[in-house]
Amino acid sequence: MSKNKSSSGEVYLVGAGPGDPGLVTLRAKECIENANVIVYDHLANPETLSWTRDDAEIIYAGKEPGGSQLSQQQINALLIEKAREGKQVVRLKGGDPFVFGRGAEEAQAIADAGIPFEIVPGITSAIAGPAYAGIPMTHRAHNSHVTFFTGHEDPAKAESAIDYAALAKLGGTQVMLMGVERLGSITSEMLKHGVRGDLPVALVCSATTGQQETLTGTLSDIAQKAVANDFKAPAVAVFGEVVSLRDGLNWYEKRPLLGKRIVVTRTRKQASALSNKLRALGAQVIELPTIRIEPPSDLREFAELVQDAHIYDWIVFTSANGVEAFFDIFFKLYDDAREIGGARIAAIGPATAQRVKDFHLHVDLQPDEFVAEAVLREFKKQGSIENLRILLVRAEKARDVLPKELSAAGAILDEAFAYRTVPETRDASGARRQLAQDGADLITFTSSSTVENFLALGLPWPKGMRIASIGPITSKTVRDRGLKVDVEARRHDIDGLVQAIRGLFEKS
């Protein structure tokens, strides 16, 4: 999306992939980030909407049974109208935009209207579904071609578009999208046309998400099994010998947190490190940022303190956010890291220390716990802090135990307010609605402010949702608010938290 095109609108028909946010293309992400308008489908992963600009207009055009819907014509008209207003319009569709799901018709309507457009292919569920179920589409020993077909057609209809006789003759691997509800009549048509009853069949439901489930059987019994197991859309069906390879290749469904729904409350920017680790373990993550990091109320004062950093004996960082805000300004003022002079650096907690090290600076003191006593103890190991000049880099309105204790121990203390934590008001991905609707197994809190701000949202507490906390301070806030901490990280960082969550679910 080049800037010089901004006067004329354009439509991007973008594939959002099958569900796992890791399966979205770089180009799709870029289009979503730049869009003025996003028109998305029921099957497009809502997580991708969190990449949108703050001022983007987000329109749901899902075709969920029962929900309010836009007709195909209305969707086409909407895309055209928004583009004519000069907007960059992203039409976000599940999987690949040209694999079923009427993307082709939308493209034609846009082309007919003379509007410039781009097609961004996506990973289709027809390919990703089998792959995440451990079913290779092809194997030299089993097949030499693959067929995609839609089960949307009602086979009882006089003029079915699906040529079952041809499908039966073709053999190979056949992948069906849509129509799990009609599986009974579809399989009986296939049997009628001479496909063998013991042909292996798999149904992969909610593929590539933390809720993926696979059901295997044969052409004769799969429909009945699907009913017995209450198998629901969206699902892809795979017919063919390759299905039997799943026995040895099933990988995704073996992940330890598969099926667990976990809420991540960190800032949008910081969420991904935790979310990705949980997803890698198979969890379904609901990113529900409760806080946002903003510049401090007095940015000038902060900048002046950063400028004078070299006059201090110690600079103490209490959070990774503080480190980032500090060096952001520091390197705007100076182009040489040595301008920090003789100041030594203390960083509380491993994540904070890591952020300092990212700037290639040595951490001289690293108390593991963010408890005033622990920090003082570590300082005292290095000798007295009496009359030492200390710059404490911290959030506005944070707890003030540490500054008090440092002053009480005789330090000459200046506090630098590096950032402000404010409640996140945006909910582009609809995470709050999703949580209220579907509930969750666990919520993660990574700071006291995530606890406070989550509770301030006033959402009803989902039944059975447990709590994981990153450390003692966060846990205390949870308990002060009358809630129970089910697990606390032993190491107070993201890896420690993830480890604790694994432990919790392995136990229960």
Residues that bind ligand SAH (CB under 6 A): 18-19, 43, 93-96, 99-101, 124-126, 129, 177-178, 204-208, 233-236
Determine whether 63 is an active site residue. Answer: yes
Give min distance, CB of 34 to ligand SAH, in A.
Answer: 22
Distance between CA atoms of 79 and 60, rounded to whole angstroms?
Answer: 12
Give min distance, CB of 67 to ligand SAH, in A.
Answer: 15
Which residue's CB is nearer to ligand SAH, number 104 or number 457? 104
H or E stretch including 466? strand 466-469
Which residue's CB is nearer to ligand SAH, number 93 or number 394? 93
Residue 172, phi then psi, degrees to nearest 5 = 70, -160
Determine whether 397 is an active site residue. Answer: no
The total of other beta-carbon atoms located within 10 Å of residue 455's CB is 16
Distance between CA atoms of 50 and 27, rounded to whole angstroms?
Answer: 16
Distance between CA atoms of 497 and 471, rounded to whole angstroms?
Answer: 9
Give min distance, CB of 371 to ligand SAH, in A.
Answer: 45
Q: Is 194 left (phi over 0), alpha (psi -120 to 50) or beta?
A: left
Which residue's CB is nearer to ligand SAH, number 148 or number 331? 148
Which residue's CB is nearer to ligand SAH, number 103 or number 403? 103
Residue of 41, 96, 441, 493 marked catalytic:
41
Answer yes or no: are the C-beta atoms of 222 and 183 closer than 8 Å: yes
Distance between CA atoms of 492 and 496, rounded to whole angstroms?
Answer: 6
Give min distance, CB of 205 to ligand SAH, in A.
Answer: 6
Going by DSSP bridges, is the β-strand pair 412-423/291-294 parallel, antiparallel, or unpaired?
antiparallel
Which residue's CB is nearer to ligand SAH, number 96 or number 493? 96
Determine whether 178 is an active site residue. Answer: yes
Which residue's CB is nearer to ligand SAH, number 80 or number 128? 128
Residue of 29, 63, 225, 357 marked catalytic:
63
Distance between CA atoms of 153 and 231, rounded to whole angstroms?
Answer: 19
H or E stretch including 442? strand 442-445
Which residue's CB is nearer to ligand SAH, number 109 or number 291? 109
Give min distance, CB of 232 to ligand SAH, in A.
Answer: 10
Distance between CA atoms of 135 and 447, rounded to whole angstroms?
Answer: 42
Which residue's CB is nearer to ligand SAH, number 237 or number 278? 237
H or E stretch including 498? helix 494-507
Answer yes or no: are the C-beta atoms of 278 and 167 closer than 8 Å: no
Answer yes or no: are the C-beta atoms of 41 and 230 closer than 8 Å: no
Residue of 82, 93, 96, 178 marked catalytic:
178
464 CB-contact burial (10 Å; exposed 0-12 / middle 13-18 / buried 19+): exposed
Residue 459, phi then psi, degrees to nearest 5 = -70, 145
Q: What is the dihedral of CA 96, 98, 101, 105, to 10 degrees?
A: 150
Residue type, 16: A
Which residue's CB is nearer to ligand SAH, number 233 or number 459? 233
Which residue of the chain is nearest ligand SAH when measured via CB? 95
Give min distance, CB of 184 to ligand SAH, in A.
Answer: 16
Distance between CA atoms of 86 and 79, rounded to whole angstroms?
Answer: 11
Distance between CA atoms of 461 and 476, rounded to whole angstroms?
Answer: 19
Give min distance, CB of 175 to ligand SAH, in A.
Answer: 9
139 CB-contact burial (10 Å; exposed 0-12 / middle 13-18 / buried 19+): middle
Residues whose CB falls within 8 Å of the CB of residue 144, separated by 6 or more in sequence, listed in order: 138, 172
Place of tokens 């699907």: 226
Give min distance, CB of 124 to ligand SAH, in A.
Answer: 3
Cis-peptide into 200, omega within 30 deg = no
Give min distance, CB of 204 to ligand SAH, in A.
Answer: 6
In angstroms, how far is CA 424 from the centroid of its own chain? 16
Q: Which residues are catalytic?
A: 41, 63, 178
